[in-house]
Structure 1
Amino acid sequence: MLASRRDQAADGGIDLAEHLTPAVTGGDPRLIESLVANLVDNAIRHNHQQGRVEITTQNSGTQVALTVTNSGPVIPDNQMQRLFHPFQKLAPDRNGHREGYGLGLAIVNAVAQAHHAALTTTARPEGGLSITVRFTRPSNPNLGR
C-alpha cells in the first residue's frame, strides 16, 4: 500500500518515511487497510511542498500501534474533533487542495471504533498532525494473518 503512495508523495514534493516493524492485529484486514490508506492519504494531501510524512508501527505489550505524522498547516486545538466527523474540512481550499469530501478521518474513526482501537490525535505546534491508532494484539498470533 505504501509503495503506491510514494509517487503521490513525490509529486507533491513530500518526503515519505517509514519505520515499520511487524505488527499483527486481529480484525477485518480490508477495513484496517482502509484505515491505513486514509491516514496516509490525508497526511499527504494536507501537507505542503517539502513536507514530510512518517509512518511508524510498533509493538508494546498487548498492543500494536500505527502512527502517521505529517507536517502541514497549524490546526487549532478547538478544531481537532471536527476532523473526525463526516463531511468536515477546516477549509475547502486548504493548501490549494479541493479534492476529497471530508470523509477520510471519519472512516479512520469508524474503523478504529469497530476494532475497539484507541485513537489519539495531536496537533503539532509547528503544523500538521500526529495520529496514533492502538490495536489490541490477538491472543492467537496466527489471527489476522
Structure 2
Amino acid sequence: MSHLSLTQRGWDRLDLADVVKGALARRRDQAVEQGINIAEHLTPAVTAGDPKLLESLVTNLIDNAIRYNHAGGHVEVTTRTSGTQAVLRVTNSGPVVPGDQIPRLFHPFQRLAPDRHGRRDSYGLGLAIVNAVVRAHHATLTANARAEGGLDIDIWFGSQSA
C-alpha cells in the first residue's frame, strides 16, 4: 500500500510508541491514586492509520486496564515491530476473567458483571471501541485471560509499506 493511498484514506504514518507515551502521561496520576504500577516497554512501532482513532484505541485499552484492576496491581504496555507488523500489547492484573466471557467484552454495553467493583461509571463501551478501531484498520486482536487475573491483549497492525 503506497503512502498516497494511505493519505487518500485519511491515514497517516505514526509510531504507536508515541501514541502510548501520550496516553500514559495523561493517566499516570489516576493509576498512582489507585495503587497501580504502570510499566512501559516502548520501541518504535510505525504503522498507518487514523491518528484520532488509534489514540482512542490506546486510551481505551489503558483506561480499561486501570479501571478493572486492584490496588497493588500492574499495567504493562509494550510496542514493538515483528517483521513488517507493528504490535501493541497491554497486560494487566485484576480479577480472574473466565475465558469464555472474553469475546462478549468486545461488544457494546458488555461488562463482566453489572456491578463489578461497585462501579457505575462505565457503560461497557471501551473494548467495543477498541474492537471497532481494530476492524477499521484491518488489524488483528487477540485477548487472553491470565490465570492469575487480568488480561493480555495484543493488536497486530498489518504491513503498511508500499
TM-score bracket, normalised by the shorter chain, equals over 0.9
Corresponding residue number in structure 2 for 1:18:
40
- Partner residue in 1 for 2:126: 104
Equivalent pairs, count: 140
Aligned-partner Cα distance in 2 for 1:130–1:68: 6
Where structure 2 has 5 or more consecutive residues not aligned to the other structure, the ranges are: 1-22
Task: Name the aligned partner's letter for residue 102 of structure 1.
Answer: G
Name structure 1 gaps, 5 residues minimum. Answer: 141-145
Equivalent residue of 1:80, what SS? helix
Cα offset, 1:78, TM superposition:
1.2
Q: Tell me if 1:45 matches 2:67.
A: yes
> Contact 1:48/1:95 (CA < 8 Å) preserved in 2?
no
Which has the higher Rg, Structure 1 or Structure 2?
A: 2
Determine helix, strand or coil for the equivalent of 1:19: strand
How far is the alpha carbon of 1:125 from its aligned partner?
0.5
Structure with higher helix content: 2
3-state SS of paired residue (1:65) = strand
Paired residue type of 1:82 = R
Match among 117, 129, 136 for residue 139 of structure 2: 117
Distance across 2 between alignment mates of 1:46 and 1:92: 13
Percent of pairs with identical residues:
67
In the TM superposition, what whole-angstrom CA distance separates every residue of 1:16-68 from its partner, at most 9, and x where no partner exists? Answer: 11000111110101101100000000000000010000000010101010000
**2: CA distance between counterparts of 1:41 and 1:103?**
11
Q: Equivalences for 1:53-72 in 2 at 5 Å?
A: 53-72=75-94
Give the AA of the match of 2:64. N
Give the AA of the match of 2:32: A
TM-score (structure 2 length as normaliser): 0.84
2:31 corresponds in structure 1 to: 9
SS at match of 2:160: coil
| Residues 1:34 and 2:53 are matched in the alignment | no
For 1:81, the equivalent position in structure 2 comes to 103
Q: CA RMSD in A?
A: 0.9
Structure with more contact order per residue of length (Cα contacts < 8 Å, sep ≥ 6):
1
* Residue type at the aligned position of 2:42: L
Q: Which consecutive segments of 4 or more residues in structure 1 shift more than 6 A?
A: none
- C-alpha contact (below 8 Å) 1:75/1:127 kept by paired residues: yes
